[in-house]
Structure 1
Amino acid sequence: MSPTPRQRRAARHQLATDVPAGRRGSSGGRKQPITVDAIIDTAFGIVAREGYGALTMRRVATALETGPSSLYAHVVNKEDLDELLIGRLCAEITLPEPDPARWREQLVDVCAQLRDQYLRYPGISQAAFAAAPSNLDTLRVSEGMLGIVLAGGVEPQVAAWAIDSLMLYVNAYSLEVSLVNTRIDRSDDTWVVSREELLRRFAALPDTFPHTKRHAAELTAGTGHDRFDFTLNLMLDGLTGTR
């Protein structure tokens, strides 16, 4: 009987230690063996070059010069591949020892690390939406973040929901930045405008938009990740009030 998807996922640590034989291509050369790591590496390469929207199991199989059925011996489906990709990125996150005196700073740093990992691959944070965390590397990050919040004296139920909210914001922010950057890279796209152009458009609005016209500078302010830091601290201010 073939192993179930759950069994295949549980056996991955064994697959990683195996040394599979190389495959011969039509030219007689040695092809890259099909392993979980090879599938993940290939998927990341596709996302880096073409964006997350281009990632499919068939696309990965083509890049590995094989058929989709060969991938399913190692990866259950596209959702399983998504989980592996996010897990690989989460493995790069450095988690501090929770410090009650520095818990806010520590939490912001972990969120920024996660954001920067996502921004390496355009749109990859979509893979983290609506996914129940079961990958150990992903769980390691949520475990570390929960420990930091609890060290800050936050009640456990509030801390648990706070981690979910922070993760959701990091995912959404990273996706928006990726979309903007992708549009900027397309020279024929006119949807992304400069701050100066936004200020000009706001100034030209009719008087039925008094607040937007008056506070156009504030609405368009901020460089780099200023808004990211602002929102995280706004959320943490709320947590501080619950302690």
Structure 2
Amino acid sequence: MSPTPQERRAARHQLGGASTGAPAARRGPSGGNKKPITVDAIIGTAFGIVENEGYEALTMRRVAAALDTGPSSLYAHVVNKEDLDELLIGRLCAGIELPEPDPTSWRQQIAGVCAQLRDQYLRYPGISQAAIAAAPSNLDTLRVSEGMLALLLAGGVDPQAAAWATDALTLYVNAYSLEVSLVNRRLDRTDGGWVVSRDELMRRFAALPDTYPHTKRYAAELTAGTVHDRFDFTIGLMVDGLPGAR
């Protein structure tokens, strides 16, 4: 008897990677002319939907339609939407390169890992939502948190602080990536009226009443830098404040 989706999911957690299992047979007159349904086919199709339409468009029914099949064919391999989310984030995490921890450059190393994760998420608009509030159980996802923890510990960070910092850094990367995706989506809208340029923001700050003296005086500082400049600043701020850090 073929393993159930739940059994395949448990096996992925134990062995790592996404086991494709036995392909689901196609039904109907043209079934023999279509590519079989596999976990990899589902993952690849899901990524394509997110890349072209955004994460909000990703549903099991939408993936099934793109594969020219019914949702029941997907459930032979994937437990549910949450399981699919876990597979997608795991696949992105599998592409993260983790350096050998170096006590002399651990700050740059942890910042580099965070930047890699950010860039992976930004390839697929809004996909970091799939990682928010999800317990890391996929082994590819756990590999990244394990690597981040190792880097922080190599820097002399107290173990409890290192553990919480791993969670905080990951949460910030997720939230940052989501915000950038939302802004980019607004920029792509035809009306173009929902994203305010820096010049317009400066003009609005300058027009504020005198009850906002600091905002008016430091408008240039408040609006300075690229989004990635702010990302680098925040990661550095979080890391430099950790107890015990060398």
TM-score clears 0.5? yes
CA distance in 1, matches of 2:218, 2:168: 29
Which residue matches 1:93? 96
- Greater displacement, 233-242 / 121-130: 233-242
Q: Supply the AA of the counterpart residue of 2:146.
A: E
Q: Give TM-score scaled by structure 1 length.
A: 0.93
- Per the TM alignment, residue 85 of structure 1 is displaced from its structure 2 partner at its CA by 0.3
Q: Cα gap change, 1:29/1:196 in structure 2, threshold over 3 Å: closer, same or farther?
A: farther
- Per the TM alignment, residue 189 of structure 1 is displaced from its structure 2 partner at its CA by 3.4
- Per the TM alignment, residue 154 of structure 1 is displaced from its structure 2 partner at its CA by 1.0
CA distance in 2, matches of 1:107, 1:48: 27
Cα deviations by residue, 1:60-115 (Å, 9 ceiling, x for unpaired): 11111111111111111111100000000000000000000110000000000000
Q: Does 1:231 align with 2:234?
A: yes
Verify the 8 A CA contact 1:22 1:30 in the aligned structure 2: no
Q: Does 1:77 align with 2:54?
A: no
For 1:1-243, list aligned pairs within 5 A. 5-11=5-11, 16=19, 20=23, 23=26, 30-239=33-242
Cα deviations by residue, 1:176-223 (Å, 9 ceiling, x for unpaired): 000001110112131101100100111111111111111110110012
State how many pairs are aligned: 243
CA distance in 2, matches of 1:80, 1:18: 15
CA distance in 2, matches of 1:214, 1:6: 58
Verify the 8 A CA contact 1:98 1:148 in the aligned structure 2: yes
Verify the 8 A CA contact 1:22 1:32 in the aligned structure 2: no
SS at match of 2:43: helix
Verify the 8 A CA contact 2:60 2:81 in the aligned structure 1: yes
Q: Give TM-score scaled by structure 2 length.
A: 0.91
Aligned alpha-carbon RMSD (Å): 2.2
Considering Cα pairs closer than 8 Å and 6+ residues apart, tell me whether 1 or 2 has the greater RCO. Answer: 2
Q: Supply the AA of the counterpart residue of 2:189.
A: R
SS at match of 2:242: helix
Q: Supply the AA of the counterpart residue of 1:20.
A: P
SS at match of 1:81: helix
**Could you list the runs of 5+ residues in structure 2 that have no partner in the other structure?**
none
Verify the 8 A CA contact 2:128 2:174 in the aligned structure 1: yes
- Per the TM alignment, residue 11 of structure 1 is displaced from its structure 2 partner at its CA by 4.2
Verify the 8 A CA contact 1:103 1:152 in the aligned structure 2: yes
SS at match of 1:225: helix
Q: Supply the AA of the counterpart residue of 1:179.
A: L
- Per the TM alignment, residue 38 of structure 1 is displaced from its structure 2 partner at its CA by 0.4
- Per the TM alignment, residue 16 of structure 1 is displaced from its structure 2 partner at its CA by 3.8
SS at match of 1:239: coil
SS at match of 1:65: coil
CA distance in 2, matches of 1:3, 1:163: 35
Structure 1 residue ranges (4+ consecutive) displaced by more than 6 angstroms after TM superposition: none
- Per the TM alignment, residue 174 of structure 1 is displaced from its structure 2 partner at its CA by 0.3
